[in-house]
Structure 1
Amino acid sequence: MSTKIAVFVGSLRKESINKRLALAVERLAPKEFTFEHVAIDGLPLYNQDFDADYPLACKHLKQTIEAADALLFVTPEYNRSIPGVLKNAIDIASRPWGTNSFAGKPGAVIGASIGSTGTALSQQHLRNVLAYLDVAVLGQPEVFIHFKDELIDGEGHIANEGTQKFLQGFVDKYVAWVKRLG
């Protein structure tokens, strides 16, 4: 039986290091785990005025999340917090009141940054939001990748053995978490 993971990459950049990290995690997961990258770039800004009749792109977002067994958030840190495009997608998918598409799903939050503090603050902010939305977020291990050139290539191949071992440990815990709560 296949386990479907909805992947949210918080960066829209074509050469996103967080997209590379997401691909690396996918490569380390068992074959029965399938990953669908959720498109968040074409969404309108959340506006309560359309709660009564959501735009098609917003309905599609909610359906994609609802069809998933679990969630994976791979996020950069912008100005010490969550990227606006990711927060907008979360706001859309959790509304209108009573139709939270995230509720009850297991998830995890990881991230990469070229800065030495990684994505610690962004991840903490995101964990707070997800806790409110009833997402059961994996607590450990935390993954704050200090990204350097060629650490992970565009297809998700990991160049550093220590990083590969660390990420495999995360993936193993995440898989067990999803299986336990799924």
Structure 2
Amino acid sequence: MLAMAGSQRRRSFNRALLRAALERIPEGVESREFDPSRLPFYDGDLEAAGDPDPVKELKEAVRAADLVLLVTPEYNGGLPAVLKNAVDWGSRPPRPQAWDGRPVAIMGATPGRLGTALAQRSLRESLAGLNARVMPQPRILLAGAGALFDGDLRLADEAIGQRLDKFMSAAAEWALRFR
């Protein structure tokens, strides 16, 4: 499994959610994190000169992954640029592109009330256009994230932990469908 959080902030709820999810991966599932902030912003001129090393690494990691787990915050009702940029780089060249047929699971956390619903919808739409296989259910859209994590950004809500266990099991099963 390849895992990415779409927040660059060190004390991000989404990085904390990713950490909690990786602690709950089913036995036998291996994970690798990729930091999308390492990617330059997509630029056709840069691409024409040859993919930069972090872009090559991203594309290879997405292609090699049985599942890609994307954890997204919601910024002003939308998707964070750093995560959209990773999707865009992975979509190049047009065919074959790294997201084609790749199983993906999406989750997110926010202090706000909508639980990253708008960001997740946008991410799902982008990935659907690239023929990624986005897991439809269950969904993790955490609202009020400040109350769900302790001061060390460890998940402090047992009910959310149980939902996260189910989500990670479902994601592993989702990946098996496309193996």
Secondary structure of the residue aligned to 2:32 is strand
CA distance in 2, matches of 1:57, 1:25: 24
Residue 98 (structure 1) aligned with residue 95 (structure 2)? yes
Residue 163 (structure 1) aligned with residue 140 (structure 2)? no
Residue 42 (structure 1) aligned with residue 38 (structure 2)? yes
Q: CA deviation at 1:150?
A: 5.9
Residue in 1 aligned with 2:119? Answer: 122
Residue in 1 aligned with 2:106? Answer: 109
TM-score of the superposed pair, with normalisation by structure 2: 0.91
Residue 64 (structure 1) aligned with residue 77 (structure 2)? no
- Identity of matched residues, %: 37
Q: CA deviation at 1:120?
A: 0.2
Paired residue total: 178
Q: 2:85 aligns with which of 84, 88, 101?
A: 88
More strand by share: 1
Equivalent pair of 1:22/1:74 in contact (CA under 8 Å): yes
TM-score of the superposed pair, with normalisation by structure 1: 0.90
CA distance in 2, matches of 1:127, 1:20: 22
1:134-168 deviation line (CA, Å, top 9, x unaligned): 11111111211124436235887432221111111
CA distance in 1, matches of 2:99, 2:151: 29
Residue segments in structure 2 that go unaligned for 5+ positions in a row: none
Residue 18 (structure 1) aligned with residue 14 (structure 2)? yes
Equivalent pair of 1:20/1:154 in contact (CA under 8 Å): no
Residue segments in structure 1 that go unaligned for 5+ positions in a row: none
For the aligned residue pairs, the C-alpha RMSD in angstroms reads 1.8
Equivalent pair of 2:73/2:80 in contact (CA under 8 Å): yes
CA distance in 2, matches of 1:117, 1:26: 24
Moved more, 141-150 or 151-160: 151-160
1:5-53 deviation line (CA, Å, top 9, x unaligned): 1112110101111011111111111131122111211221111123332
CA distance in 1, matches of 2:3, 2:145: 23
Counterpart of 2:63, as a letter, is E
1:45-65 deviation line (CA, Å, top 9, x unaligned): 111123332122211221121
Counterpart of 2:30, as a letter, is T
Secondary structure of the residue aligned to 2:85 is helix
CA distance in 2, matches of 1:40, 1:158: 23
Residue 75 (structure 1) aligned with residue 72 (structure 2)? yes
Secondary structure of the residue aligned to 2:125 is helix
Counterpart of 1:37, as a letter, is E
Counterpart of 1:8, as a letter, is M
Counterpart of 2:176, as a letter, is K
